[in-house]
Every structure is written in structure tokens, then in C-alpha cells.
Amino acid sequence: MRDQKEIHYCNLPKMPEPAFDSPVGPMRMEAIIIMAKKWVNGTKLKYSFFERDSFFTPVTDASGNQSKLFWKGTNDEKEAVRNAFATWKSHEIGLEFEETDDHLEALIRIGFAKGEGSWSYVGRDAWDIPKEERTMNFGWDIVSDEDTILHEIGHAMGFPHEHQNPKAGIVWDEEAVYSALAAAPNFWSREQTFHNIIRKISPDDVQGSSWDPNSIMHYPFGANMIIAPPKYKDGLSPEDGLSNRDISWVKQFYPKIDKRTFVALKPFHSEIISINAGNQINLEFSPEESRYYTIRTFGNMDTVMVLSEVVNDENIYLSGDDDSGEDRNSVIKEKLLKGKKYVINIRLYYKTSAGDTCVMAY
Ligand SMILES: [Zn+2]
């Protein structure tokens, strides 16, 4: 069981809430929010570590003394992170992880600045972070703390905090929570505690219909922080490692990809998209001439569409579009070359009416 005492908590960076141009009904909103931060399945998430002393956070203490919190980690720390990526991948998911020593090509950029807390951006939010900045940090020694690493990687894959699941039905002793987190080792402001614990995630931001107190995305809590359910008055300690539901959810969002199911897309030929919300269609496209192509979805639906070039069996991202919550369709325009092979992934968030939906390249 994860220890409740002297527990360090993960402190998520704040991102703006999604805004919608036009009124979006609750069912459609729910579908969009569940999927919004998830990656298109099959994405290779490259990760990197910061190695040089030129990467650090400058700190000034109360007396005006300046120091540096270096982002680089030890070999043992880096190995612990590699092992945690391998643990997620061992469940045969469609996402791929690969280490790169070039942080400019990494989507997940990992620092080990001690004292800055452990945190990660959630899923696709990492796209918007400048390449010279971290998207994940480990603020304490995680060499024998695999659960913290699995938790932060869970955020990087797009999973939110489970203890903020409104379906959890947790009633907090809010003042006890604020004062526990204000003390060592976290020293959180009330705002940080509210953002990471008390605040209920919108009902639709969490996956699933039930609460999983053993989820890797759930914090442990000490005694007298939870008023109800009463069984957790003495504290709540999630079991070590990934829970059964963590595994079933990651496999639902990121099932193993079978390239034999890929559909060949032909120019000017519409391909019907017959998948359920949350699922993904994968298409291959081999242009017969080199020119600009427009790839567009048709029909009333919300999708995220990603175009990649296949190089040495690896999908290299070229372009993406996300039309969720908008009255338009996903569209990508790119120059594509004869002799090259491309893959188009379309994840369906929501279908707003029953008519046909399809995709075409022209
Ligand atoms: Zn967290």
C-alpha cells in the first residue's frame, strides 16, 4: 500500500478550460471532454531527459540568495522512469514510447528538479509547451517510487486525477485537507490544494461510471481528511501499481493496433467511417502523384484527425486537426509525395446525427 504519511503529492500545472464557439449539448460536451486530452492511438510519444547544466530552475530564497535546481537526473532515476514506461507498455497498448536524446523532438520532456514537486501536463496539452521547457518533473527521489512515475506517465497519456472523480462521492473535511497540504513536505497554497484535490473534475472529464480508489491516478489520504464514505475516515491507501481498471481503461483508449485492419484510402473515393464514439479508424494513403491534397471528413461529427508519414515503419507526424465542438469538419491540406506512404488516424468523439460520415482525400 502506498504510505499516507509524509506523502508527496502530484501538483498539476493549470491549463485553460476548453471553450466552445457555439452551444454544445451535454452529451456532446461529455464525449469531447473525455477524449480531448487523449492522444490519437498509435502515437509514438518520444521522451527525453535534460542532461546539461544549462537546464535548471533559478531560485531566490527569502534572503535574496540565488541557486539553481538542475533538471538533470541520475542514471538510477532515468532507469526508473524507463522501467515505468515499460510497465505501461507491457499491457499491450497502442501508444508507443521511445527515448530520444534530442529534447526538440520529444513530446514528453522530463526533469528531476528536487523540491519543485512532481507533476505532468495532461495528454495533448504537452503539445502547447515550448520545447525548451519540461512537460514532466519529479521533485523527489523516485528511484524506488514506481507509483509516482506510473502516475505522472498516466497524466502524460491523458488521464486525470481519480480522487477528483465526482462519482467518488468523497466528502472532504476541507479545512483538514488544506492544513495537511500546507504543511511539510508539500507546502501547498489553498489554491494548489483546491486545484489538485478539493475541486471536482467536471463529471465528464473522468472516464467511466464508477470510482476506483485503487487507481494509480488516485492519491493516498491520511486520517481525518475524508468524512465520507465513512470507511475512509482513517485514511485511504490505494494498492501499489496499476489497478485492474487502470489496465482496462488504458486498453480501451489505446488498444493494440493491428495494421492489417488499416483501410486503403483512394483519391476522390469517400471512405465510410463506421466506428463508435471513442474509437478510431486508421487509413493508409499512397499518392499516385505528388501534389497538395486535402483530406476532409464529411458528416455531422466531432473528430480529431492526424496525418503522418510512414518512415522506416515509424509514423512521423505531419499535421492534425480537431473540430470538436465546432460546426465544421476536420480538414488537413498537405503536399504529399508519390512513392511515399502516409497514415491517417481519425478518432471519433461524437456523432451529432445519424447520417453517413466519411473521409475523402482529393
Ligand atoms: Zn497527479
Examine the pLDDT at 209 and tell me if it is beyond 70.
Answer: no
Give the C-alpha separation, 342 to 305, whole Å. 13
Domains with residue ranges and CATH for the chain: 26-253 (3.40.390.10), 259-361 (2.60.120.380)
Q: What is the mean pLDDT of residues 218-238?
A: 90
How far, in Å, from the CA of 162 to the mean position of ligand 1? 9
Residue in 299, 302, 293 with CA at minimum distance from that of residue 342? 293
Instruction: Compute the distance between CA of residue 1 and CA of residue 4 in angstroms, rounded to an integer.
Output: 9
Ligand 1 center to residue 297 CA distance, Å?
Answer: 35
Residues within 5 Å of ion ligand 1, judged at the Cβ atom: 10
More confident residue, 10 or 104: 104
CA of 151 to the centre of ligand 1 (A): 6
Task: Examine the pLDDT at 35 and tell me if it is beyond 80.
Answer: no
Q: What are the backbone angles phi and psi of residue 253, rounded to the nearest 5°?
A: -80, -30
Distances from the Cα of 138 to the Cα of 20, 45, 47, 145, 246, angstroms? 34, 18, 14, 11, 21
Would the pLDDT of 212 be above 50? yes
Cβ pair 296, 330 in contact under 8 A: yes
Closest by CA to 123, choosing from 45, 19, 211, 16, is 45
What percent of the chain lies above the pLDDT cut of 70? 91
DSSP SS3 for 50: coil
- Cα(317) to centroid(ligand 1), Å: 27
Ligand 1 centroid to 80 CA: how many Å? 18
Residue 205 pLDDT exceeds 60: no
CA distance 11 to 181: 11
For residues 246 and 17, which has the higher predicted lDDT (pLDDT)?
246
> Residue 354, Cβ neighbours under 10 Å: how many?
8
Which residue(s) pair with 236 in the sheet? Answer: 221
For residue 3, pLDDT over 50 is answered with no
Cα(152) to centroid(ligand 1), Å: 6
- Compute the mean pLDDT over every residue in the chain, rounded to the nearest whole number: 88
Distances (CA, A) of 278 to 75, 100, 128, 266, 271: 38, 30, 23, 25, 19
277 CA distance to ligand 1 middle (Å): 27
Residue that wins the pLDDT comparison between 35 and 360:
360
For residue 299, report the distance from its CA to the centre of ligand 1, in Å: 37
User: The pTM is what?
Assistant: 0.86
328: pLDDT confidence band, cut at 50, 70 and 90?
A: confident
Q: How far is the CA of 307 from the centre of ligand 1 (A)?
A: 30
Distance 218 CA to ligand 1 centre (A): 8
The pLDDT tens digits for 264-305 are 999 999 998 888 888 899 999 999 999 999 999 998 888 899
One DSSP character per residue, 328-342 reads: S--EEEEEE-TT--E
Dist. CA 162–CA 121, nearest whole Å: 16
Answer yes or no: is pLDDT of 5 > 50: no
CB 61 within 8 A of CB 121: no
Q: 153 alpha carbon to ligand 1 midpoint, in Å?
A: 9
263 contacts 284 by C-beta, under 8 angstroms: yes
Is residue 1 over pLDDT 50? no
Residue 324 C-alpha cell reads as 470538436
CA angle, corner 245, sides to 349 and 249, nearest 5?
A: 25
What sign has the CA pseudo-torsion 52, 55, 60, 64?
A: positive
CA of 196 to the centre of ligand 1 (A): 8
Q: Which of 102, 95, 113 is nearest to 154 (CA)?
A: 95
Question: What is the band of 340 on the pLDDT scale with cuts at 50, 70, 90?
Answer: very high
